[in-house]
Amino acid sequence: MRDFQLPGRSAVYAANGMAATSHPLAAKVAIETLEAGGNAVDAALAGAVLLGICEPQMTGIGGDCFVLVKPAGSEQIIALNGSGRAPAGLSADAMRAAGHQKVPLRGIESVTMPGAVDAFCRLSADYGRLGLDRVLAPAIRYAEEGVPVAPRVAFDWAEDAPALQGDARRFYLGNEGPPKPGTIFRAPGQAEVLRRIAKEGRAGFYEGEVAEDMISSLRAQGGSHDLTELAATKSTLADPISGAYKGLELFEHPPNGQGATAILMLNILSHFDLAAMDPFGTARAHIEAEAAKLAYDARNRFIADSTAGLDHMLSPQTASKLAALIDPKRAMASSSRLSEAVHKDTVYITVVDRDRMAVSLIYSIFWGFGSGLASAKFGINFQNRGAGFTLEPGHPNEAGGGKRPMHTIIPGMVKRAGRVVMPFGVMGGAYQPCGHTRLITNLEDFGMDLQVAVDAPRCFSGTEGMLIERGYGPQVQAELAEMGHEVSIAPEPIGGAQAIVITDDGGLIGGSDPRKDGCALGY
């Protein structure tokens, strides 16, 4: 239990339904959808699409999604891959010949087909109750009338604004530059697109005038994207992957997402007695950082659209061998491969309904404002997921036409004794596997209350050395530096978690990250 004399907030308790996400309007709309007779899929879709209006620098209908769904009356978990493919004309050879060592982060080379809308339509048809017209109505209204820009959104918007190019500047900056907190942001073009999707389904997006606007805008920037490829964009169903940690089983989306990295991290950490360590002390931060270096190196070697090394990554023998490489007293050098596909911009929503259907949905345009490009008529911001490819010749994740890049966004679910007990996600790009690991170990090894586990300070060893939040004291920082870590204070909060615990007696407990503007709400 938290100390009520210190800043913080309680976890949210409810009996009938719960939603947790990064913006309060999206949480509110999700709960209203449940109260109107919708199920968890309806509510998650209503909230997620609205997040593209509330947090346009993070996500939007030009992006991708990954989803885990537990249907009512079942403990089966279904994975839906809503990630799009590169256009057929994308060529690693051409980029290397142009002098690129990596896929350009912004601009036309990084734009892959938007896959989220197809996945949303499929989810609604297969598992929803209300229909797209009702589910999309709140996002349409808010896009037309406008939403006040929230404080964290304004912070990110200003930082990401320099990436905007051409038509995107007109839609997302106007004449006044990045909006201040409280400024009303409207997206009437996207409201019209959503109306067409509500009426026509996926055809309202992947065919007709909206499709023509997207493809003509991309081709005007030199892209090889075409209408046939866009119309062929389809989400795919898959079985989730999983791994055991003590009494829990962590379920992740399979590749091309990086969820296997979180399972490998937990497998490595299972060789250490975390519970004997100070949860906010030097030893735990060090062991977690070393496990991350090893797991992320494996990620960047193996994870791609087709991952032949998946069984190797998930093998307990692999984790045992990697754990043996960790020196409890000394930091190893970071792998240069950690530089691949780092970003921090994503939204996440989780919903559990009265019948205990559970949804874990993550939705992103990759970097802030994605590629920095938008369609000329409707203002659809294009993702830069192609930057998740590598230009290393022969690598499984080498850029190529028709391929899906390695994705950083990962939804999670946890089972105990065969029963789903927590849908959750931790936003934050490359940090996400580490974030999944830390949240689970906060709960399982240190017995933290859900909201306390979400609030707790974080650290992450990535391309910029070891970034730590200000919640860590000077002594821990100094000790980590003495062990060989390149320690610095994170320039912004690390990640953003949302989670719902389903208790043994069927109750719901929601937690939402104070690093974002959102909340957990129940009814």
Tell me, yes or no, whether 96 and 189 share the same domain. Answer: yes
Residue 344 binned pLDDT confidence (cut-offs 50, 70, 90): low
Spatial separation of the C-alpha atoms in residues 475 and 179, rounded to whole Å: 39
91 and 209 inside one domain: yes
Q: Is residue 300 part of a domain?
A: yes
Query: Is 514 contained in some domain?
Result: yes
145 burial type by CB count under 10 A (0-12 exposed, 13-18 middle, 19+ buried): exposed
41 pLDDT band, cuts 50/70/90, is: very high
Same domain, 39 and 152: yes
Q: Binning pLDDT at 50, 70 and 90, where does residue 341 land?
A: very low
In a domain, 210, yes or no: yes
pTM, full prediction: 0.96
pLDDT tens digits, 359-380: 999 999 999 999 999 999 999 9
For the chain, what percent of residues have pLDDT higher than 90? 92
pLDDT band for position 335 (cuts 50, 70, 90): low
CATH of the domain at 435: 3.60.20.40
In this predicted structure, the answer to whether residue 343 has a pLDDT above a threshold of 70 is no
Average pLDDT estimate for 410-417: 98
Residue 69 forms part of a structural domain? no
Strands of 487-489's sheet, edge to edge? Answer: 459-462, 465-468, 487-489
Residues 199 and 273 in one domain: no
Q: Check whether residue 138 and residue 286 sit in a common domain.
A: no
Q: What is the pLDDT of residue 307?
A: 78
Domain-embedded: residue 396? no
Strands (E), 402-507: 412-416, 419-427, 459-462, 465-468, 487-489, 496-502
Report the domain count for the chain.
2
Same domain, 139 and 262: no
Per-residue pLDDT at 463: 79
What is the reported pLDDT for 345?
67
Answer yes or no: is 310 within a domain. Answer: yes
DSSP structural state of residue 15: S
What is the per-residue burial (b if ≥16 Cβ within 10 Å, else e) of 397-409?
bbbbeebbbbbbb
- Give pLDDT tens digits for 465-523: 999 999 999 999 999 999 999 999 999 999 999 999 999 999 999 999 999 999 999 99
Q: In this structure, is residue 3 part of a structural domain?
A: no
Q: Would you say residue 7 has pLDDT above 90?
A: no
Low-confidence winner among 19-33, 127-141, 340-354, 435-449 (lowest mean pLDDT):
340-354
Q: Is the distance from CB of 358 to CB of 39 less than 8 angstroms?
A: no
CA distance 263 to 249: 9
Q: 419-427 and 496-502: which strand pairing?
A: antiparallel
Is pLDDT of 336 > 80? no
> Does 279 lie in the same domain as 180?
no
Question: Do residues 415 and 280 both lie within one domain?
Answer: yes
Q: What distance in Å separates the CA atoms of residue 280 and residue 293, rounded to the nearest whole number? A: 19
Residue 464: what pLDDT? 82
180, 243: one domain: no
Strand, helix or coil for residue 493: coil
Q: What is the pLDDT of residues 208-254, one digit of tens each?
A: 999 999 999 999 999 999 999 999 999 999 999 999 999 999 999 99
The whole-number pLDDT of residue 19 equals 98
59 pLDDT band (50/70/90 cuts)?
Answer: very high
**Judgement on whether residues 311 and 417 belong to the same structural domain of the protein:** yes
In a domain? residue 335:
yes
Residue 340 has pLDDT above 60, yes or no: no
Q: In this predicted model, what pLDDT tens digit does every residue of 247-276 receive, in sequence order? A: 999 999 999 999 999 999 999 999 999 999
Residue 313: name the closest of 326, 331, 300, 325 by CA. Answer: 300
217 & 257 share domain: no
Q: Are residues 289 and 374 in the same domain?
A: no
Give residue 30's domain range: 26-63+82-233+367-388
Q: Does 137 have pLDDT greater than 80?
A: yes
pLDDT at 342: 45
- 504 CB neighbour count, 10 Å cutoff: 9
Q: Give counts: helices (H), strands (E), the chain.
A: 18, 19
CA distance 264 to 287: 14
